Structure formats: C-alpha cells, structure tokens
Amino acid sequence: MSPQHAPVPPPEFFIVGCVRSGTTFLRDLFRRYPGLICPEEMHFFRNGDPFRCGATFRDLRDNPVLRKHRELDGVPEDAFRTLLHLSADRADLQRRYIAAYAEARGMSDYRWFDKTPQNIYGVPLIAGQFPKTKFVFLVRNPLDVVASLKLGKVIKVTDIHGACNYWLEACTIIRSLAPALGRRLVIVQYEDLVADVPGTMSDLAAVLGLEQQDCFRKDDARPVIEPWRQGLDAEEADMVRFRCADLALGFGYDLRDGSADS
C-alpha cells in the first residue's frame, strides 16, 4: 500500500460522546449511506501529548485494540507506521488514514466521517483542524451507561465513581463547548434514536446537510432495556443520581425515576 494517496475530501462529521452510549449503532446506520465511509475507532485526537511528542506514537502504534481495528480496516501495520512518520499533525494523520482505508476498499469517490467517542477530549483541536466539520454527540441515560460499564462486555469499570466520570466528563466537555460550536453541534438522545430510527436519521441528515436516504426501517428500532434496573444495586444507583442528576437534567434525563424526559 503506497503512502501517497489522492486528495482526501473534508470530513462530514465526527461522532463523539461517552462510551457505551450507542455510538457504534449510530455509526453502522450512517454506513448505510452510499459512498459514506467510516473506519473503526482510531483515537487520533484522544491523547493529551502534542502529536509526535511524548507517548503519542507508542500509544497509537502498540495498543492491541487499535491494532485489531487497523486489521479490520485493511491497513497493514507497516503502512500505518509509514503514515505515522509522514504525518505532521493529527489532522494530517487522519486524512492519510482515511485515504488508506478507502484504498483498501478500492474506493476513489467517497465521503467520510469518524466515530471515536473518546475523541470528545480532542473536540477543540478537531474543530480547529477541521474548521467546517460538524459534531454529533450521542448521550444516554447515565444510569444505563454506568450499569453497562460495570457489566463490562466491552469496557469494564468496577469503580462506581470511575464509571460515573466517563459520563460526567464527556457531558461536561460538550456542555462547555456547545456555545462555541453553535450549529456545528447536534445532540441526540440514544433513547430517541432507538425508538425511531427513520425519524431520528432523517432529522440528523437535515442538520448535517446530507441527502435523505430511504434505507432505514421502523424495525431498526431497539428496545430500551434500562440495564441499570438489574445491574446496579440501590446504593450504586443512588450514587449515580447524586453525582449525575444535575447535569443529566440538562440533557433531558430526570434521574428520580431513571427515565428520559423526551
């Protein structure tokens, strides 16, 4: 795979948020759009060190999860190392990686977006390096996020405060940045998405400037199972309410009964 690629179009949007909030489901829905591509999670904007300094190369190169993602994307490790060393900054690396991902699929005419929830920590830098891109922030009831993290099917966090902090940090960041992002930001409740996939995707397409697609069905809906009711004991649920209730209310969740006000 050659490190030299054709010019890469600008990103359509970035999906960010708290882990275990349904961002993978949303990514897979957007992947139904013809010619709209998104690789596996890349984490290019997550690390706090300046790019090419500190642990940035090591964290991206040696992480076993990210290596697996690159395998799924069809980007060989030797090609990725070349991309790393050719890239001057994170946006440069992102563009080069997207080009390699598209090349692996034999695509020359495409549009792209990114889905890495932990890139929430890099939203100011993403907004600056991709000055026209938009952001989709997917939010979910914190009780269910904490219960999912405690269960640990994908990410396991047994410390109740640590699990709360996943949700609190993501939501605090986006609330703080919302005035600056303005119309570049759209916030979507997970519960609204899974209850009405066609309607929510239609609304998102309008906000993001995408053409409407007839590729979503009512039976794409998922039940809102509220895992916190079985996954958290009373003390844990009370702690989530104590720590998250005030912020959650601003996102449409009244934790007094664990539901969404939508």
Concatenated DSSP letters for 54-67? TTHHHHHHH-HHHH
Alpha-carbon gap, residue 180 to 207, rounded angstroms: 17
- Tell me whether strands 36-37 and 114-115 are parallel, antiparallel or unpaired: unpaired
Burial 40-63 (b: 16+ CB within 10 A, else e): bbbbbbbbeeebeeeebbeebeee
E strand residue ranges, 4-62: 13-17, 36-37
Closest CA to 131 of 7, 258, 262, 14: 14
Alpha-carbon gap, residue 198 to 220, rounded angstroms: 8
Q: What is the pLDDT of residue 258?
A: 59
Alpha-carbon gap, residue 122 to 16, rounded angstroms: 10
Contact 124, 239 (CB under 8 A): no
Q: What is the pLDDT of residue 3?
A: 46
Both tokens of 108, joined, read 């020359």
Q: What is the pLDDT along the chain (262 residues), one digit of tens a residue?
A: 444 556 899 999 999 999 999 999 999 999 999 999 999 999 999 988 999 999 999 999 999 999 999 999 999 999 999 999 999 999 999 999 999 999 999 999 999 999 999 999 999 999 999 999 999 999 999 999 999 999 998 899 999 999 999 999 999 999 999 999 999 999 999 999 999 999 999 999 999 999 999 999 999 998 888 999 999 999 999 999 999 999 999 999 999 875 655 4
Contact 252, 261 (CB under 8 A): yes
Contact 129, 90 (CB under 8 A): yes
Alpha-carbon gap, residue 107 to 100, rounded angstroms: 10
Q: What is the pLDDT of residue 51?
A: 97
Contact 188, 136 (CB under 8 A): yes
Contact 115, 15 (CB under 8 A): yes
211 by Cβ neighbours in 10 Å (0-12 / 13-18 / 19+) ranks as: exposed
- Tell me whether strands 253-254 and 259-260 are parallel, antiparallel or unpaired: antiparallel
pLDDT digits (tens, 9 = 90+) for 189-231: 999 999 999 999 999 999 999 999 999 999 999 888 899 999 9
Q: What is the pLDDT of residue 66?
A: 97
* Domain residue ranges in the chain: 138-262
